[in-house]
Structures are given as C-alpha cells and as structure tokens.
Amino acid sequence: MTVMEQFRNWLAGAMPDWAAYILAFIVGVVAILIFALVMIIVFVYIERRVVGRFQVRLGPNRCGPEGIFQLIADAIKVFGKEDIVPSKGDFWVHFLAPIVTFVPALMIFAVVPFHRGAVFTDLDVGILYVVAISSISVVGIFMAGWGSNNKYSLIAALRAVAQAVSYELPVVLSVVGVILLTGTLSLNKIVEVQTIPLFLLTPLGFLIFFLGTMAEINRSPFDLLEAESEIVAGYQMEYSGMKWVLFYMGEYGHALAASSIITTLFLSGWKGPLLPPFLWFLIKVLIVFFIFMWARATVPRLRVDQLTAFAWKCLLPMALINLVLIAAEVIWFPEMLPWMMVVVNFAVAGVLILLWSRLFALGGGRVEV
C-alpha cells in the first residue's frame, strides 16, 4: 500500500469517501508541485554555476551570497515584461502552448517512487503512462510555432515533431529491455526488483535511453529547435513575460522528470546504503542532471540532418539488437549469474559502439535547411 493510499484511508475514517479522495488528491498534487518547483530552482542555479566553470567564467556571483538570489532578480525582471501576442497569430493556440508544454513534466511525477511506497499512484502500467505523457510536450512546442505565425518558430516546431518521432522509437525499445529484465511495468516494482542497477545489466539500453531522452527534452547537443544561429531562438521567439517563463520552467521540468525516470529505471531508484532512501534518490537525480550539463558544456550542437541520422542509423538499429540480446538472455539463459550478464552485455555494447562508429557516418559539409 502506497503512502497516498494510507493517507486516503486515514481521511476516510474522518470524512465521507468522496471528500477523502479529493483532499488526498489535492495534497498529492501540491506536494508534487512544490517538489518540482524547488528542484527546478536548484537545477537552474546549479547549471548556471557549473556551466560557468566549464566555460572558465564565474557565473552568477553578485546578487546574494554566491549569486543565490540571481534567479529572484531574473523573475522580477520577467514579471515586469509586457505580454505580447503577434497580431496575426492564433491567440488561444499561442496562449495554451506554454501550459501544454509545462504541465506534462509535472504529471510524470505521479508514478515516480521517491521511497518504498512513497508514490502518488502505483500504476501497473506506470512506464506506459510515462511514455505517453512525455510525448505531449512536443504538441505544446508545435502549438507555439503554429500560433506565433512566424516562419522561424514554425521551422523549430517542425523540427520538434521530427525529433520526437525519430527518438521515441529507440527510447521505447530500450525501455522494453528493462521490462523484460524486471517482468513488470510498474515503476515502483522495477525499483524493488533491482538487486543491482540495471545500467550494469543493460549498458547499451541505458546509453540509448539516456541519449534519446536528451534529444526528446531538447538538451544540447540536440537542441536544434532553439538554434540561435539558424532560427533565432526558435519556437519561443514570439513569447515574453510569464509565457516565456513557463517554457523555461518546462525545459527544466522535463530535465528533472528525465533524470528521475533514468534514476528509477537504471540506477535502482531510492535504493542505497546508510543514507535515507529519499536522499539517495535526490543524489542520483543530481548526478544524472550533472551529466546533462556536462554534455551541454562540451559537445557541439549537431546539424538537423545529423540529428535525424543519429536516431535512425545508429540508435534504432542498436536498440533492436539490444532488445534481441536481452530477450535471448531472459529466455535461453534465465539462470545466468548477474555479473556474468554484466560482462557479456558490456562487451557486446563496446563492440557495437565501435562498429557503428566505423560503419556509419553522420555526414559532413554544409547543408541548408
């Protein structure tokens, strides 16, 4: 029984059943909202400071001790900006786009386990829920490009659709490998059955999921829909004020959700020695996000043709091979020792990465898009 179910049963003893369900729902939503907003603020501050160090500069360091109040100053500045809607744009599409982009990032946390039983709702098909909800944000981005009535914004929106379609397939196939190893679609049970982190048992699946997720949440080097040198900041160019803030928060909200899902699927979630489970969960989430920052600061942005070629020529075939390998091990070698599987799968991953880097090129030269 999850914490939310225990809380709802306790409320049911003091009030009608319908009121207990509503109050428990409100408490859960507020808790998720507070957690997400606080972590987004932490992520923004950490990324500014860490990327500053990568780029041999200090980052925010004037507004408050170590620049901790810089985000507050930025918020005051943004709140004072005028909300402008293009005269020939679609008002309602333009208005709803930031909401459609930001809200799915919060909805993902409904099935993320922060502790044993500490989950808003333990769905039996939790991983399918995550895949479905995470795909909605691209609709918001497309709405922003269409509703702005701006060619550059529309180009970014079309890139977002192509990027989502391209990378959704390898991401889902890598998730299927996790389902085969654990025998469940519940995120809570996936964590509980991990005696060792699954990134050791399926390193290739972990790498594919990590890279595909980076592309889906538009983190550099996959941020083609915000390429300033090509499309002048892309889909959010016609946005200002609070609407622009929602897009900004949506980007970090999806980064937080992606870090949480990677932690849950491949890093044993809240499991760990000595420290409290929730603290272990936060530590692993921050480590994953640090790798996101590291990639942003060091890897150059791909071209749009390289972006799609990387998904279809590299990640998708490797995801299929990884799925066949995991299925064969589960069916034919069910009693294989975990550490033997670790050695075999790491060797296969290394060989495949080496071969694919030699056999397939992403293309060079100048491409006009």
Q: What is the pLDDT of residues 230-268, one digit of tens each?
A: 666 677 778 877 888 888 888 888 899 999 999 999 988
Q: Summarize pLDDT for 181-219 with one digit per residue, the tens.
A: 888 888 888 988 888 888 888 899 999 999 999 888 888
Whole-angstrom CA distances from 214 to 218, 250, 326 are 6, 14, 23
Give the pLDDT of the chain (369 residues) as one tens digit per residue: 666 666 666 666 666 665 666 776 787 788 888 888 888 888 888 888 888 888 888 888 888 888 888 888 888 888 777 777 788 878 888 888 888 888 888 889 888 888 877 777 788 888 999 988 888 888 888 888 888 888 888 888 888 888 888 898 999 999 998 998 888 888 888 988 888 888 888 899 999 999 999 888 888 788 777 666 666 667 777 887 788 888 888 888 889 999 999 999 998 888 888 888 889 999 999 999 999 888 888 888 777 778 888 888 888 999 999 999 888 888 877 766 677 888 888 888 888 888 887 776 655 555 444
Q: Is residue 113 classed exposed, middle or buried when 0-12, 13-18 and 19+ CB atoms within 10 A define those classes?
A: buried
Contacting residues for 294 by C-beta, under 8 A, at least 6 apart: 54
* pTM summary value: 0.87
How far is Cα 118 from Cα 2, in angstroms, rounded to an integer? 6
User: How do residues 82-112 score in pLDDT, each as one tens digit?
Assistant: 777 788 878 888 888 888 888 888 889 888 8
Residue position matching structure tokens 């957690």: 35
